Structure 1
């Protein structure tokens, strides 16, 4: 009863009696079944549940058809959305069962924990943490905080830190070293005592009371404050509802709620608490985030297993092993019904040998390993990931409160048919399709906002510009990221535009601005481009570091070259890119002089990047800038001829000119011969070789097909003095180790044969080293059927002669011309020999 001193007593929960205190383990299916049985027996007039009272208005949404656990209450500070906390609930959570029972029986339900306004303000001075970690509830419903240091008794023995994990302390007292197994034995695998639905709660309350006696001298200040607030709320409910009051809370708090404490003392504990303005809503949660591996303080090791126990009360072992067999069959493992029968027998035998009432998770796991996985832990890991933990993702009805940005995101997700999923998956997009282009825009815009729902991945189907591959995985914390991004706008487009403009203003380097410009084009933010282009032009004009300019150019050119896939106007970008290229051309030769080895290698990478960028930029030159490719070739000739330029850069310049066909093979051989002459220091010669054929640039194939270049390298290498060879060896090893094994093997064979035999093999009767005098049309014709099959043209032979569309394909085999399919469509792209 409620005494004059404000104390709480009784256990009936009926009219005229004290509150019915139901101490539970969060996310425990046994506790959930016991709560439902106790509520059915007591029929209270109100149900009080541990949780933030600001969420009372959200309780009716639990009855919505669109609400599917696991879900979580999300509280975040209005002025600082990143400061947040979650209260996760699964369908087997006792709190969720209590909410659903109250809604089904038209009984009021309320949350009675300390308001989130105080909790989030209390957390503010502490260390910042990722959402979903320190802000979540602990094992018995409290906020997860580090355990208190252990105290000592009068004999100097340390008290166990039972507050950190009360279940572990109880399991240890019962002689068990595994709290999860002990809890399964005493609660999950046993039903409630017949005839007394309150028996499990009475036993658990007695155990927790004994444990709390060891902490009465100290305790946790936050627990004391929270429990004071709970007592005040219970008293208020008892005055309001004469039909009785039921309280569902963490078992750790039950002894404190039963304790006789005055109202004045409770109010004194709550006086002066800090406070912030908060918003609350429901958000989807996942089984994976309920597991301890996900960083959740009140988590459980096996949410999928517990969900199975709650949803399948009859023959749970047989049904579980059948589910495991189905999963393994989906992964093409041979598992029959006989395996299931034998696994059930083994699990039951193990339970008897271990003295357990029924086979638990450890017995079923051992049976699966032995019978279905043939002793291997590899398929067992899949079972643990997919079933024991599980990848269930909850759903929240559209009517749940949310920031405007979240509502716009939900609308776009429905329109694009791109539902969040807890399991990681790959998404292949064809940007020529309207829906896929919209999905790409959404994912790129979310990345700009810091909502990492998707990450770009390397495509396995091709490298064309019409294809994108994303790796998607929705985590509950992304709801917090969306709330944080809400400060930039009420729609995804407006928020991404505002965020990109702000990032452009605060960008530290030129490369950061160019990367942002590329991301804006991918996200199709046309209103942002003028601002980004203006800042980019200003930064480029003021930056005198050629390395920075060279780093910035490739991203700009990629945006310019591939921007037309999305139909974006890139005229302003072309002008900036061409101007940037001009500045690189002017500044590169002086910047390459007098560099040490590390700086020279870095500059060589810049030269490669600029060469690739100019190759793309040359297809669409900006007005007034002339032929950029011709100017770049002039820069390469300057670099190749200057003695002050490091050998690795000179060698790469010669190689690039040779690949472009702007340097005759005889001239390349002459330049190599000069560098490899006895008058050149061996280290400089080795650096030139590294630049010419190293760096994974395909130089090994060049040596295979050009006998003169190979002979020059071979002759120089055999003539390096012994005292200089040890200095040259590391660079040579790096150069040749980058070649593919087949190339290295072929080069070794050619070197082993010697100059005379190599000449007969590689240059017999040829005007060009490595090639025959003319085309062998007979061998080319033999390849045509295979090429046509690869192009999907094998069924259109009869129509080839008459069809003007397929006339494009007849150039295959024409002297001087070949065709190849584009990576994204079946258009044939002409490649001139």
Structure 2
């Protein structure tokens, strides 16, 4: 009896060819494959006749993992060829939810980082840019008789890197399967197909040990087949393992190296022409000639991937590249890449999407959601509007929001309320049927068995890493989804984060959002929620504590900080019943900030406005004259207007005093003050600005209408710049004695 080990690189056509040839030649009793052993009783599902790529999606509480296959994956070829030979085919790796896979979302994530040193040495020896170029040169360029080369390569790789704890557990488990198969093979061969990193260790581990079939660990999780895509397999989009450029290697598998090279050139040229990039027949001939020449120079019988790509760049890109070609490294394209590079990477990756056989089992969530979409007339195409005051429309809205939270494609919200304080009562959605919907629903089943449970689970998953303002978004998403089971948890976490937060702007977002839900959201069932009230109390207290300690000189008004002060004012005015602070305590804080010469001007104005809005009658005229410096006045007014705009409008003296202060400025001082003054008066809507203009005219005893003053067609900055120019001309005339 012999056991033949084939160490492979995942998704390598050359390795897949070797696997097929070996199984057909040996006709083994067992074919053992690196794959989830808990699927062994369901291998028939894999063989139903799917359009690849597909993946086994496995999930357990807190963990999800994919085991992807494409047509040229060595593991897939081992499964299908072994089955066609009548061989007993089995997966022999630990299930995806086992602790050995903790933190790994892809079973076939390569261990290349662990043997980077030996790969770098080999790349230097063979003048290769990276491991992908090296692999093509050593194996894909000449796939015949590569078994010995593969064994030497992986022996060298494994000799320089040890297995970590998780790999050791996996290898011990796989070795137990190999020993049992060899014992039960009845003298016939056994073929073992695993990632090349594991192969040297497995050879050494099977010499001794138990020959009993190993048990498969049990779990409350589940596994299902899902459609996959070449885009998700591509290293240029961040995929962690195997070969890059899946569409190119698919062509290598189906058509051979020579035709794959020609097809890649034609595909790139076609994509460029469709995007109105000029590519002539001469360019096409030059690209092919250069690719062939590079292949011969590099010792390749036919051009391989980098030969073709380098030839295309030489023929189609005449200017200097702002970044190295992406195939010289691993990872996605960087911003600003040349259009030709973008189309090359797109052509290499392709847009192939897998499709499952209709008889493929799916989790109950898929059937339930598809039926719910049909019942609610949400499975079509086009735009729909929903009146959120209508119970039936609210039901449809909640279903759509649950799908949005789960990132199920084909449901795009175009308009609707953005926060709990948003008075919008209508939503508009765009529905677009797509092939990826079923895959997304299968993967969503990892979060729960019903649509509501799954959406709640997805929101729950966002909590640990969310910032405090993101947590407010989670809370509002829960309200939109009609999910109340996670709200207490979100709010508890939110309150804890608020107590230690130091970002006033972020706290303002939290307070405004939660206050809106507490005040207005009878639609979503959160109005007057006592737990929300607790967050309002903590947020308002924290904001006041932080702003009282802020000290700086004159600076542009901070609009985000002012929004936090507005939210604090609204909390005191509208939610005083849930605050532990008394109103006179808040007024005391406001008085201290307003009189603090070290506080930023906008914050001093906001503090005075806060006290005014809460019922105090401050000496606004005195405060105005104290902040009349051109570099402070506009910012101070921005704070005052943000917090007490209505009080300013009803005051008899503020506009008059302000007019006197501005009128007394020199032209140079006015130019300094103007940008901040414009920002400050932007807090008043057009009708209120007309009212202010009327009061200025009345204060000066001048005829005219406020409307005519606020309807100038020239930008005030242009007017101010013209005035400054006139002043400089006057000064020049005086200096030259021409006045």
TM bin, normalised by shorter chain, reads 0.5 to 0.7
Residues 1:611 and 1:305: Cα distance change in structure 2 (over 3 Å): farther
The CA deviation at 1:279 is: 3.8
CA offset at residue 386 of structure 1? 2.0
Q: Does the aligned pair in 2 maintain the 1:560–1:570 contact within 8 Å?
A: no
| SS of corresponding position for 1:49 | strand
Post-superposition offset of 1:388? 2.7
> What is the deviation of 1:521?
3.6
1:677 aligns with 2:628: no
Aligned pairs for 1:655-666 (under 5 A) are: none
Q: Give the equivalent residue in structure 1 for 2:527.
A: 573
CA drift of 1:74 comes to 3.6
Judged with a 3 Å threshold, the aligned counterparts in structure 2 of structure 1 residues 570 and 305 are, in CA distance, closer, same or farther, namely closer
Corresponding residue of 1:229: 176
Q: Secondary structure at the match of 1:111?
A: strand
Partner residue in 2 for 1:185: 137
Q: 1-side partners of 2:510 and 2:170: how far apart?
A: 55
Map of 1:247 onto structure 2: 192
Q: Is the 8 A contact 1:85 1:120 kept in 2?
A: no
User: Is the Cα contact below 8 Å between 1:74 and 1:282 reproduced in 2?
Assistant: yes
| Structure-2 change in CA distance of 1:654 and 1:221 (3 Å) | closer
User: Distance between the aligned counterparts of 2:536 and 2:19, measured in 1?
Assistant: 75
Q: State how far apart, in whole Å, the 2-side matches of 1:186 and 1:502 are.
A: 43
SS at match of 1:26: coil
Counterparts of 1:737 and 1:473, CA distance in 2? 52
Q: Aligned pair 1:518/2:462, yes or no?
A: no
Partner of residue 120 from structure 1, selected from 77, 98, 113: 98
Per the normalisation by structure 1, the TM-score is 0.57
Matches within 5 A, 1:18-57: 19-44=3-28, 46-57=30-41
Measure the CA separation in 2 of the matches of 1:470 and 1:45.
Answer: 51
Structure 2 match to 1:129: 103
Aligned 1:719-798 pairs, distance under 5 A = 735=676, 766-769=703-706, 771=708
| Per-residue deviation, residues 613-657 of structure 1 (Å, max 9, x unmatched) | 999x9xxxx9xx9xxxxxx9xx99x99999769864675699999
Alpha-carbon distance in structure 1 between the residues aligned to 2:460 and 2:121: 55
Deviates more, 1:324-333 or 1:594-603: 594-603
1:225 offset after TM fit, Å?
Answer: 2.0
Per-residue CA distance 1:357-408 (angstroms, 9 max, x = gap):
2222223223333433444542134225423344544344565555544654
What is aligned with 2:261? 317
- Output the CA distance in 1 between the equivalents of 2:128 and 2:244: 17
Q: How does 1:135-284 map to 2 (within 5 A)?
A: 136-137=107-108, 139=110, 144=111, 147=114, 178-190=130-142, 192=144, 199-205=145-151, 208=154, 221-222=168-169, 225-226=172-173, 228-236=175-183, 238-239=185-186, 245-251=190-196, 262=207, 265-267=208-210, 279-284=222-227
2:450 alignment partner, one of 449, 469, 491: 491
Indicate how the Cα distance of structure 1 residues 38 and 108 shifts in structure 2: closer, same or farther if over 3 A, else same: closer
Partner of 1:100: 80
1:72 aligns with 2:55: yes
Map 1:441-480 to 2 at 5 A. 441-442=398-399, 444-445=401-402, 451=406, 466-467=427-428
Structure 1 CA distance, aligned partners of 2:427 and 2:163?
68
Asked whether the equivalents of residues 228 and 269 of structure 1 are also in contact (C-alpha less than 8 Å), the reply is: no
2:248/2:260 contact within 8 Å kept: no
- Alignment partner, residue 331 of structure 2: none
Q: Secondary structure at the match of 1:110?
A: strand
Provide Cα deviations, 1:657-685, integer angstroms capped at 9, x if missing partner. Answer: 99x9xxxxxxxxx9976544369799975
User: TM-score, normalised to structure 2's length?
Assistant: 0.63
Residues 22-59 of structure 1: CA deviation (Å, up to 9, x unaligned): 44322111222333344444444543322232211332
8 Å Cα contact 2:176/2:213 also seen in 1: yes
Equivalents in 2 of 1:592, 1:138: separation in Å?
Answer: 46
**Counterpart contact for 1:347–1:359, Cα < 8 Å:** yes
Alignment partners' CA distance in 1, 2:153 and 2:45 = 35
Q: Residue 712 of structure 1 corresponds to which residue in structure 2?
A: 661
Q: Any stretches of 5+ residues in structure 2 without a counterpart?
A: 322-336, 419-423, 578-582, 646-654, 682-695, 714-739
The 3 A distance-change label for structure 1 pair 440 and 383 is farther
Q: Which position in structure 2 is the counterpart of 1:369?
A: 313
Shift of 1:236: 4.3
Counterpart residue number, 1:6: none
- Take 2:404 and 2:12, find their aligned partners in 1: how far apart are those partners? 37
Q: Which residue of 2 aligns with 1:787?
A: none
* 1:88 maps onto 2:68 in alignment: yes
3-state SS of 2:151 partner:
helix
Separation (CA, whole Å) in 2 of partners of 1:181 and 1:110: 33
Say whether the 8 Å CA contact 1:170–1:207 is kept in structure 2.
no
Are residues 650 and 459 of structure 1, via their aligned partners in 2, closer, same or farther at CA, if it must alter by over 3 Å? farther
Separation in 2 of the partners of 1:477 and 1:166?
A: 39
Structure 1: distance between partners of 2:384 and 2:104? 31
Q: CA deviation at 1:325?
A: 1.9
Partners of 2:195 and 2:536 lie apart in 1 by: 70
| Number of equivalenced pairs | 628
**Match of 2:338, SS?**
helix
In the alignment, the residues of structure 1 paired with residue 343 and residue 397 of structure 2 have an alpha-carbon distance, to the nearest angstrom, of 33
Whole-Å Cα distance in 2 between the matches of residues 108 and 121 of structure 1?
Answer: 31
- Structure showing greater radius of gyration is 1
CA displacement, residues 252-303 of structure 1 (integer Å, 9 cap, x when unaligned) = 55566666954xx223999999986664333344434434466655332333
Q: Which residue does 2:294 correspond to in 1?
A: 350
**8 Å Cα contact 2:226/2:356 also seen in 1:** yes
Offset of 1:348 from its aligned partner? 1.8
Q: Does the CA contact (< 8 Å) of 2:34 and 2:193 recur in 1?
A: yes
For 1:273 and 1:455, the matched residues in 2 are separated by: 38
**Pair 1:250–1:688, CA change in 2 (3 A):** closer
Residue deviations 1:529-574 (CA, integer Å, cap 9, x gap) = 9x879x99xx9xxx9x9x99986664367569997xxxx7468727
Taking the aligned partners of 2:313 and 2:246, their CA distance within structure 1 comes to 20
What secondary structure is seen at the aligned counterpart in 2 of 1:247? strand
Q: CA deviation at 1:491?
A: 0.5
> 1:60 deviation in Å?
1.7
Distance 1:207 1:412, change over 3 A: same
- Alignment partner of 1:308 is 2:270: no
1:768-806 deviations in whole A, cap 9, x for unaligned? Answer: 346169x99xx9xxxxxxxxxxxxxxxxxxxxxxxxxxx
Indicate how the Cα distance of structure 1 residues 410 and 337 shifts in structure 2: closer, same or farther if over 3 A, else same.
farther
Asked if 1:326 corresponds to 2:254, the answer is no
C-alpha distance in 1, partners of 2:543/2:272?
Answer: 62
